[in-house]
Amino acid sequence: MPVLDRFRLDEKTAIVTGGNRGIGRAIAQALAEAGANIVVANRNEKSGEKAAAEIANDTDSETRAVQTDVADEDSVRAMVTATVEEFGAIDVLVNNAGVVIHEAAEEMTVDEWNRVVNINLRGTFLCSKYVGREMMESDGGSILSVSSMSAFVANYPQRQVSYNASKGGIEAFTRQLASEWAEHGIRVNTIAPGYIRTDNTDQADAVDPDIDEIWKSEMLLPDIAGPEDVAPTAVFLASDASRYMTGASIVVDGGYTVR
């Protein structure tokens, strides 16, 4: 098979949590361009519907928006059921939904801690659990979670211990799940981005006006990337092009973690 054909996702169905904006929006678009039908699963109904309509308009793929709170078990279960009813099976899950709170550890409330860990880590577990059950009933599939370089390094100058703990948890969760589900034909991997320009990084810009320059001083490549610079790696991990990879993490960070 020609190598680029191995990246195709024709007749596959992919769920992208947080597919309405930022990195998830770019991943949803890229998976659709590679041929997959897309379910956009996020909280804000209007922007989810808008993203799904735009992606359907731009590509040959079928799309659907399902309002979902990834931290809520009933909501995740309903989203997975709706996806199977619509498309028959699920081949790809992208656990992308995530939040960050910039707060010093000594000031952080338990509610703030729980909010971040529940969305980032519990959400990844819940979506993987219910999608994994469906994948076990069919031909397996590919689960990829958007972790972060923050799983491996400390961030500076912003303070964000709950975020880094949640992302470290996703990395450990991924290795263990890859081991447990290989026998079901389910591959489990992560993408660990560095700083990517989205609403998420705009939130950090409010912490320190010089933050971009501080970040860039640690990077090898010249600029802070955009969501479209992460999306091709998602197509790779979702597709047969990566069929010999599981339990792995791909860092896409402009060289930040090297220094």
Residues that bind ligand NAP (CB under 6 A): 17-18, 20-24, 42-44, 47, 68-71, 96-99, 119, 146, 148, 193, 195-196, 198-201
| Residues tagged active-site | 163
Rounded-to-integer distance, Cα 11 and Cα 248, Å: 25
CB of 165 vs ligand NAP, minimal distance in Å: 12
- Maximal CA-CA distance, the chain: 56
Toward ligand NAP, which CB reaches closer, 60 or 210? 210
Toward ligand NAP, which CB reaches closer, 70 or 186? 70
CB of 173 vs ligand NAP, minimal distance in Å: 13
For residue 157, cis peptide bond before it (omega within 30 degrees of 0): yes
Toward ligand NAP, which CB reaches closer, 8 or 156? 156
Report which DSSP code applies to 10.
Answer: T
CB of 59 vs ligand NAP, minimal distance in Å: 19
CB of 40 vs ligand NAP, minimal distance in Å: 9
Toward ligand NAP, which CB reaches closer, 21 or 187? 21
Strand pairing category for 186-193 and 141-146: parallel
User: Taking the CA of residue 86 as centre, how many other CA atoms within 13 Å lie in the half-sphere pointing to its CB?
Assistant: 20
Rounded-to-integer distance, Cα 117 and Cα 254, Å: 26
